A = this chain, B = another copy of it.
Amino acid sequence: MSLNKEFLTLALDVMGGDKGPLITIPSAVMAINHLPNLHLILCGDENIITTELARLNISEQTLAHHKQLSIFSTSEVVEMDEKPAFALRTKKNSSMRKALDLVNDGKAQACVSAGNTGALLSMAHFVLKTLPGVERPALISSLPTHDDDKHVFMLDLGANVFCDSHVLYQFGVMGSVMAKQVDGINNPRIALLNMGEEAIKGSDHIKQAALELSENKDINYIGFIEGGDIFSNKADVIVCDGFVGNVALKTCEGVARLVYKKSNVLIKTNILAKMLTFLIKPSLKKSFKSMNPDQYNGASLIGLRGIVVKSHGNANSSAFFSAIMEAVKEVERQVPEKIKRSLEQGLSPQ
């Protein structure tokens, strides 16, 4: 197997995620139908994959000559609750590991997985290595804002527990590249997440990161931002360490679930609410469309020599499809190459 230059090739860990192939295979088929020049290598249990494809009317015979789909048969699966170090050490023939190996061997241009986040982070870091000059990779994702047409990138969302000032600085540069390349934003506004907007607040390493970012002329550093302003479209990229980012992101999901539950109780107990919710469903959908979690699925692990997109474990087909499209975009825009170049420029003599 070698990389076909006419096609954009991705390796999918089809076994990952809460429902594995039941979700990933239909998404893969959606994706190749959507993009005629997309080639997907489905890494996983061959029997399961062929059964799932058959259900979608793609027979083994068709598959043998399929230009857009191929199977890379693997014998192991990284479980969702497996310890990352254990998975890294023992699951060398897993669908996750093989999908990453394909990227490293130049046989695929990116890897997409909905599997165990910790294991994916460890394996991707081990297999693909960081770009020259990058100290730590980061998990980045986009979130909705008050402005329907805009979203905000946030990193690190959990790849690193603690980040020193220079790592935070590098995240700022990497986030700036993502906002420029993936979202087409000119001169993206970069902010550091802090306890307050005043320059005197926060830890020493955050203040030092602020200094480093403001000294890079290619970076539009706008200062500190508070948790309450993540969604207010004041910044295009928000930088924080992985612990804080992970807590903030999961707290958002927790609040959303709380509001959803309270609304649901209301709709279930009030017949009027039920009737009218049904009637205004299209408007309701439109109003909250920009907050639809499916389109925000696909956090990218950046700072590595290859492209890795992590889908939510409980993603549905439409959400996993979004993660595949995210990977396509990053391949087309050559994100790793541009991160490398930006960091080299920032690190040139000042």
Contact = CB atoms under 8 A, between A and B. Distances in A.
Interface of A: 83, 118, 144-146, 158, 161-162, 193, 195-196, 198, 200-203, 226-232, 240, 242-244, 246-259, 261-263, 265-266, 269-270, 272-273, 275-277, 279-280, 283-284, 287-288, 290-291
A244 B241 CA distance: 10
Contacts of A193: 247
Contact of A227 (B118, B246, B272, B277): B246
B273 A255 contact: no
Q: How many copies of the chain does the oligomer comprise?
A: 2
B273 A283 contact: yes
Contacts of A287: 262-263, 265-266, 269
B243 A195 contact: yes
A291 B257 CA distance: 13
Contact of A280 (B203, B231, B276): B276
A280 B255 contact: no
B272 A161 contact: no
Contacts of A276: 272-273, 275-277, 279-280
Nearest to A84: B200
A201 B284 CA distance: 39
A163 B291 CA distance: 35
Given A195-B242, A195-B246, A243-B203, A262 B291 contact: yes
B283 A254 contact: no
Contact of A255 (B161, B256, B275): B256
Nearest to A277: B276
A255 B257 contact: no
